[in-house]
Amino acid sequence: MLIDSDGEKLGLLAIDEALEEAQKKNLDLVQVSASDAQPLVCKLLDFGKFQFEKKKSTVGTKRPKKQSLKETIKPCHRGRNFTVTHKYWS
């Protein structure tokens, strides 16, 4: 079974005919079903673009790391003054 890049079913074709169709449209022939499925389902698509879109969608879901603020209070040696130190931990 061959599926076009638009999702349209082109029917059952021999592998040679499917490869020829992919070359005409300047696309890749990609098997989308399990290897033991009957009939095999293949799709015409631009595989490089598919990988880029997949990577792009997974990169966008990462959250930036939150910085935590650690505050330390140290007594000063001269009298009753205190110094406050702020440190950012990533």
pLDDT tens-digit profile of 62-75? 666 666 656 555 55
Over residues 3-22, the pLDDT tens digits come to 988 889 989 988 899 999 99
55, part of any domain = yes
85, part of any domain = no
Please say whether the beta carbons of 42 and 2 come within 8 A.
yes
40, part of any domain = yes
Range of the domain at 32: 2-59
Over residues 38-86, the pLDDT tens digits come to 888 899 999 888 888 888 877 666 666 666 656 555 555 555 555 555 5
Model pTM above 0.85: no
7, part of any domain = yes
Among candidate residues 88, 90, 54, 52, the one with its CA nearest the CA of residue 72? 88
DSSP symbols for 16-46: HHHHHHHHHTT-EEEE-S-TT-SS--EEEE-
15, part of any domain = yes
What pLDDT, on the 0 to 100 scale, is given for residue 76? 52
Give the contacts of 84 (CB within 8 A, at least 6 positions apart): 71, 72, 73
65, part of any domain = no
What CATH number is attached to the domain comprising 37? 3.10.20.80
83, part of any domain = no
d(CA 12, CA 42): 10
Q: How many domains does the chain have?
A: 1
